[in-house]
């Protein structure tokens, strides 16, 4: 089977399943491999501002299922993974990137190395530094406005920008995870129906972290598929220019 056919098969195999077989455990390696693959997802500036919380123990799963409003996908899941955005980790990631670049420098830094030092040293704080008074957000908007007056310019966005940027990347990781679970022959269901406040405190997450989604995993059942896979027509959502 060609790579293209295999990928099509994985896409068709992945359905949101809401009732998992209680008698079929998911091998730990399936979750481990899928998390390793999720980590390879594209993400903004490679800052990797995410964390993945794998709930395996039966008693803990029960607690988390309650926080997922008792949804059947969560109640019957063999494994649960909570995908979380971690803008609070920006400084650690910045330092990690800077140390990666510095390790490579041998004598005078190259142009590319200087650019990387500038990017992670100066641009990242503009995007991610804690900003309770919205001063940096105002600065970002001003820079984008002035820079974009006469030419295309990156519109960094205001106070909600950090949330948007980190959620985009985290959702891509969740998608890679779910496709990987499908490639391993198991099923999943992404969930946004949860009590974000309680789930956040259950996971002891810091103030700036946000729950992106919970993914329930198991061997799906037929009753777990709630209907045909319907989508609006291709022409309605695709514009070819």
Ligand X SMILES: Cc1cc2nc3c(=O)[nH]c(=O)nc-3n(C[C@H](O)[C@H](O)[C@H](O)COP(=O)(O)O)c2cc1C
- The contact set with ligand X (CB under 6 A) reads 15-16, 18, 71, 73, 189-193, 213, 229
* Cβ at position 224, least distance to ligand X in Å: 10
Residue least distant from ligand X (Cβ): 193
**Phi, psi dihedrals of residue 97, rounded to the nearest 5°:** -60, -45
* Cβ at position 201, least distance to ligand X in Å: 20
| Burial grade of 181 (CB within 10 A; 0-12, 13-18, 19 or more) | buried
With respect to ligand X, which residue has the nearer C-beta, 113 or 163?
Answer: 163
* Cβ at position 63, least distance to ligand X in Å: 17
With respect to ligand X, which residue has the nearer C-beta, 73 or 124?
Answer: 73
With respect to ligand X, which residue has the nearer C-beta, 53 or 97?
Answer: 53
Please enumerate in sequence order all residues whose Cβ is within 8 A of that of 196, keeping only pairs 6 or more positions apart, or say none: 210, 211
With respect to ligand X, which residue has the nearer C-beta, 103 or 229?
Answer: 229
Instruction: Give first-to-last CA distance, the chain, whole Å.
Output: 33
* Cβ at position 193, least distance to ligand X in Å: 3
With respect to ligand X, which residue has the nearer C-beta, 151 or 229?
Answer: 229
CA–CA distance, 61 with 54 (Å, rounded to integer): 10
CA–CA distance, 184 with 187 (Å, rounded to integer): 9
* Cβ at position 45, least distance to ligand X in Å: 23
Our CA dihedral for 128, 197, 171, 37, rounded to 10 degrees, sits at 100
């Amino acid at each position: 089977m060609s790579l293209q056919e295999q990928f099509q098969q994985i896409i068709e195999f992945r359905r949101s399943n809401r009732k998992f077989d209680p008698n079929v455990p998911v091998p730990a390696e399936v979750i481990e491999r899928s998390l390793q693959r999720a980590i390879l997802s594209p993400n903004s500036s490679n800052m990797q501002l995410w964390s993945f919380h794998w709930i395996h123990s039966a008693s803990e799963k029960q607690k988390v299922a309650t926080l997922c409003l008792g949804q059947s996908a969560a109640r019957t899941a063999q494994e649960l993974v909570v995908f979380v955005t971690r803008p609070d980790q920006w400084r650690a990631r910045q330092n990690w990137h800077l140390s990666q670049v510095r390790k490579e420098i041998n004598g005078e830094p190259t142009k590319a190395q200087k650019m990387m030092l500038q990017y992670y040293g100066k641009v990242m704080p503009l995007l991610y530094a804690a900003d309770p008074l919205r001063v940096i957000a105002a600065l970002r908007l001003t820079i984008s406005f002035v820079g974009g007056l006469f030419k295309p310019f990156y519109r960094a966005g205001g106070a909600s920008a950090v949330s948007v940027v980190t959620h985009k990347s985290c959702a891509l990781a969740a998608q890679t995870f779910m496709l990987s679970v499908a490639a391993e022959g198991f099923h999943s269901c992404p969930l946004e129906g949860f009590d974000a406040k309680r789930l956040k405190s259950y996971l002891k997450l810091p103030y700036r972290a946000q729950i992106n989604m919970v993914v329930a995993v198991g061997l799906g059942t037929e009753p777990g598929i709630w209907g045909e896979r319907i989508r609006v027509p291709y022409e309605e959502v695709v514009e070819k220019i």
